[in-house]
Amino acid sequence: MSLYWRIFLLNAAVLIVAVLLLLGPVTVSTPVLLGEALVLIAGLAAMLIANAVLLRIGLAPLQRLTRAMATADLLQPGHRTTVTGTGEIAELTKTFNAMLGRLEAERAASSGRVLSAQEAERRRIAQELHDEVGQTLTAVLLQLKHAADHAPVPVREDLHQAQETTRASLDEIRRIARRLRPGVLEELGLHSALRALAAEFTTSRLSVSTHITPGLPHLDPATELVFYRIAQEALTNTARHSGARAVELHMRALPGGGVGLLVRDNGQGLRSAPEGAGLRGMRERALLIGAELQIGAGPSGGTQVRLNVTGSTTEDHPRESAR
């Protein structure tokens, strides 16, 4: 039934009952007697309550839909309002659900484009840092060495100092380039790349342990990159925000098939901090490969990031251990 008729019939029912009561047992004299006034007020109250209750029931699907619209989050897709009844509200709910589906698909496609453009740009910057700046600094290093060999003793010490500084910047540039472009991912495969990442984050104040089950299903390159970037952001957050002493990185087979990544620290936890670009980026990357991502509190405090990939992004044969 349409919303128009539903509201009309609700009001009509209440009014008809009122008129029937007036035609029947209820009499009103002028001026109104106290008893009659009490009966009228009680009748009016009963009518208003009945009207309110019926309207609430009649409009409940609309309220559900409004709530769903207000809380829809394209980065946590898949939530749909259940379609109840028939008529305009059901039609509206169906249209809203369909629109949400289209928006989610569009969002996933556009963030896919943005992320791959970002990866390409990072690759280019890393390449240029490595090739251009790296080569120049290497040349400077050689010139300094040459100059130091021929310089008088008082100047030699200064030149050695300059050599050391140049060498340190060269290392720093190589490190930045490596972080920008996970070259290890292409050269060594995901497992070694994750171990290298863990080693990079290990300090005297933070221990990072990796637990990677051998013989996991093979992941396609796009999925491997998502695993790597999500692990990288999770470890960055642990190092930067958590105050944790230890963080574990697990990669294992899921019971129903597929592969799961878990990064769990023993720090202070998220403490209802608003999501920043880092967490949003993780969600966008997970969406890109249709993976499930949960970011929340760990079983014994701290923070855990769980990424589960099932189905199409994995192939059944295990990766050769020598890769």
Q: Which residues bind ligand ADP (CB under 6 A)?
A: 237-238, 240-242, 265, 267-270, 273, 275-279, 303
Peptide bond connecting 31 to the previous residue in cis, omega within 30 degrees of 0: yes
Of 219 and 248, nearer to ligand ADP (C-beta) is 248
Of 75 and 108, nearer to ligand ADP (C-beta) is 75
Residue 270 interacts with, from Mg ion, ligand ADP, none (CB under 5-8 Å by kind):
ligand ADP
Strand 314-318 relative to strand 246-253, pairing: unpaired
* Residues 261, 250 contacting (CB under 8 angstroms): yes
Is 217 a binding residue for Mg ion by CB under 5 A? The answer is: no
Of 238 and 314, nearer to ligand ADP (C-beta) is 238
Is 278 a binding residue for Mg ion by CB under 5 A? The answer is: yes
Closest by Cα among 184, 258, 186 to 216: 258
Q: DSSP H helical segments within the chain, as ranges? A: 3-23, 34-71, 87-128, 134-150, 153-180, 183-188, 190-201, 221-237, 277-288
Is 179 a binding residue for Mg ion by CB under 5 A? The answer is: no
How many residues in the chain? 323
CB of 263 to ligand ADP, least distance (A): 8
Is 237 a binding residue for Mg ion by CB under 5 A? The answer is: yes
CB of 296 to ligand ADP, least distance (A): 10
* Residues 70, 79 contacting (CB under 8 angstroms): no
End-to-end CA, the chain? 64
CB of 308 to Mg ion, least distance (A): 21
CB of 237 to Mg ion, least distance (A): 4
- Phi, psi torsion values for 209, nearest 5 degrees: -110, 135
Of 115 and 159, nearer to ligand ADP (C-beta) is 115
Residue 238 interacts with, from Mg ion, ligand ADP, none (CB under 5-8 Å by kind):
ligand ADP
CB atoms within 10 A of CB 60: 13
* Residues 246, 210 contacting (CB under 8 angstroms): no
Of 288 and 305, nearer to Mg ion (C-beta) is 305
Q: Is 204 helix (H, G, I), strand (E, B) or coil?
A: coil
CB of 212 to ligand ADP, least distance (A): 20
Is 43 a binding residue for Mg ion by CB under 5 A? The answer is: no
Of 81 and 237, nearer to Mg ion (C-beta) is 237
Site residues (vs Mg ion, CB under 5 A): 237, 278
